[in-house]
């Protein structure tokens, strides 16, 4: 059979410039430590901020739902795949986000695709932060709207673009709430002020902020006291919430529209009962067990402090995302490999996920890490960084 020679050539090139990666295989459940190749390693690379992936209440809810309602739903939402629990979760999410309504998609990725592709027309302009997540970029690509990118969190640049965009039906500003590769928070109060001054709409993707920032983890909008002033809040159920899925929250008009026009919502099967039931339970856990979020921030402060004391360079993170900047792809991969052999799972992030020459080890602290685990990880990082002459 004919081989994809042109694809192979590209893969070979990736191996050469060290952007080719082997996926690490986890042999136990996700948690503060996991087994990789039969060895116990401290997990510093998951998005399991609050440890909810294996919280007993979520697991129990999933089991019960599978037993009572089955393994799958057998249809898309709009035909025969809407169960009572799907609507219940959406009501809960709207309450949680303090909006009129919410709609669940299969993932955060498809939420951005569904929202952006359905509401933007050629009469509109979408104005996007240059470091927005790939799913926002791809969502924008699906539209006929004019597109402008403003420099990362640069409000003067955003205002410059807004000034030139007054003749469109809609100006839509889109930003990540927390930027996933650096851990900084979007300057949402300034963005909202500009939006109000220039009669624009605001969409915030809080994938890394839900469960992390705001009261009980309501996200950046609530964190900044901007409830009711942001038109579209996108969230994921796959990170701090610990399960799978994405959602858009906003006005009833917006949600009714998405329910009729959001293509991933319309043309892809609804979540299995176990997924939806676990998500419902997760929201209750956020409301009833604030101690996980408190522990998350306590662990983060401790871990960051110690890394800085070691002389490592971190990004200007304001969240539990703690990226250690390395620069060269090869060095970042070498450090990540060395850490793994010594019991620390800390994935290197290289081009194209981040810019070329800005490779990093991205660690994410979770509420479940014990002080003993953090200290052990810190000691391994210190000795490995020294050995590779990074400090
Ligand atoms: C992770 C992430 C997504 C995708 O969410 P999934 O539920 O994993 O598909 C979308 N947007 C941002 C900003 C993210 O960090």
Claim to verify: residue 276 and residue 343 sit in the same structural domain:
no
* Domain termination residue (choose one: 265, 288, 311): 288
Tell me the mean pLDDT in the region 125-131.
97
Output the pTM of the full model.
0.96
Q: Which atom of ligand 1 is nearest to the CA of 205?
A: 13
**How much is the pLDDT for 21?**
82
Cα of 7 vs its chain's centroid, Å: 29
Same domain, 169 and 280: yes
- Given a contact cutoff of 8 angstroms between Cβ atoms, the answer to whether 33 and 41 are in contact is yes
Same domain, yes or no, for 275 and 237? yes
User: What's the domain count of the chain?
Assistant: 2
- Whether 8 is in a domain gets the answer no
Portion of the chain with pLDDT greater than 90, in percent: 96
Same-domain status, 28 and 41: yes
Q: Is 83 a residue whose pLDDT tops 90?
A: yes
Measure 151 CA to ligand 1 centroid, in angstroms. 21
Is it the case that residue 387 has pLDDT exceeding 90? yes
Report, as residue numbers or ranges, the catalytic residues: 180, 208, 239
Examine residue 132 and state whether it is found in any structural domain, yes or no: yes
Domain CATH for 244: 3.40.640.10
Say if residue 119 is in the same domain as residue 264. yes
Binding site membership of 236 for ligand 1 (Cβ less than 6 Å): yes
- For residue 334, which of 54, 98, 56, 18 has the smallest C-alpha distance? 18
- Indicate whether 245 and 161 sit together in one domain: yes
Evaluate whether 323 touches 335 at the Cβ level (below 8 Å): no
Could you tell me if residue 2 is inside a domain? no
Centre of ligand 1 from the C-alpha of residue 236, in Å: 6
Q: How do residues 34-76 score in pLDDT, each as one tens digit? A: 999 999 999 999 999 999 999 999 999 999 999 999 999 999 9
Ligand 1 atom with least separation from CA of 208: 15
Q: Cβ(307)–Cβ(173) under 8 Å?
A: no
Residues 87 and 227 in one domain: yes
- Section 246-275 average pLDDT: 98
User: Given 263, 288, 313, which residue is the final one in a domain?
Assistant: 288
Rounded distance, CA 230 to CA 224, Å?
A: 11
68 and 78 within one domain: yes
Cβ 246 under 6 angstroms from ligand 1: yes
Domain with 349, as residue range(s), is 18-47+290-388
pLDDT digits (tens, 9 = 90+) for 3-46: 999 999 999 999 998 788 888 999 999 999 999 999 999 999 99
Here the CATH number for the domain that contains residue 28 is: 3.90.1150.10
In a domain, 13, yes or no: no
Ligand 1 within 6 A of CB of 135: yes
Number of residues written out for the chain? 391
In this predicted structure, the answer to whether residue 169 has a pLDDT above a threshold of 90 is yes
pLDDT digits over 297-314, tens only? Answer: 999 999 999 999 999 999
Q: Is the CB of 182 under 6 A from ligand 1?
A: no
Tell me whether residue 352 is in a domain.
yes
Atom 2 of ligand 1: nearest residue by CA position: 207
Could you tell me if residue 152 is inside a domain? Answer: yes
Domain boundary among 233, 255, 288: 288
């Amino acid at each position: 059979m004919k081989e994809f020679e042109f694809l192979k050539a590209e893969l070979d090139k990736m191996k050469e410039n060290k952007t080719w990666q082997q996926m690490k295989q986890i042999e136990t459940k996700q948690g503060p430590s996991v087994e990789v190749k039969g060895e116990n390693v401290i997990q510093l690379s998951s998005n399991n901020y609050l440890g909810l992936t294996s919280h007993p209440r979520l697991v129990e809810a999933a089991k019960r739902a599978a037993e009572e309602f089955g393994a799958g739903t057998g249809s898309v939402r709009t035909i025969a795949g809407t169960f009572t629990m799907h609507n219940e979760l959406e009501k809960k999410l709207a309450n949680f986000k303090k909006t009129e309504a919410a709609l669940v998609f299969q993932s955060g990725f498809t939420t951005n695709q569904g929202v952006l592709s359905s509401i933007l027309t050629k009469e509109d302009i979408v104005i996007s932060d240059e470091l927005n997540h790939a799913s926002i970029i791809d969502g924008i690509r699906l539209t006929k709207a004019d597109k402008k990118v403003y420099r990362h969190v640069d409000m003067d640049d955003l205002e410059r673009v807004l000034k030139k965009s007054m003749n469109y039906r809609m100006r839509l500003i889109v930003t990540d709430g927390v930027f996933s590769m650096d851990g900084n928070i979007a300057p949402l109060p300034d963005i909202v002020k500009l939006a109000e001054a220039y009669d624009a709409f605001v969409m915030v993707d809080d994938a890394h902020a839900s469960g992390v920032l705001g009261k009980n983890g309501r996200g950046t909008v609530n964190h900044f006291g901007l409830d009711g002033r942001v038109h579209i809040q996108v969230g994921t159920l796959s990170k701090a919430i610990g399960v799978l899925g994405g959602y858009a929250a906003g006005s009833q008009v917006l949600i009714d529209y998405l329910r009729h026009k959001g293509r991933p919502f319309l043309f892809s099967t609804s979540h299995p009962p176990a997924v939806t039931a676990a998500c419902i339970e997760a929201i209750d856990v956020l409301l009833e067990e604030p101690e996980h979020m408190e522990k998350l921030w306590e662990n983060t402060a401790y871990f960051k402090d110690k890394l800085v004391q070691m002389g490592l360079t971190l990004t200007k993170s304001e969240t539990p995302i703690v990226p250690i900047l390395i620069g060269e792809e090869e060095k970042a991969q070498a450090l990540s490999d060395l850490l793994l052999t010594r019991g620390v799972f800390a994935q290197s992030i290289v081009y194209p996920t981040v810019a070329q020459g800005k490779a990093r080890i991205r660690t994410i602290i979770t509420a479940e890490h014990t002080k003993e685990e953090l200290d052990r990880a810190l000691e391994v990082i210190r000795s490995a960084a020294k050995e590779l002459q990074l400090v």
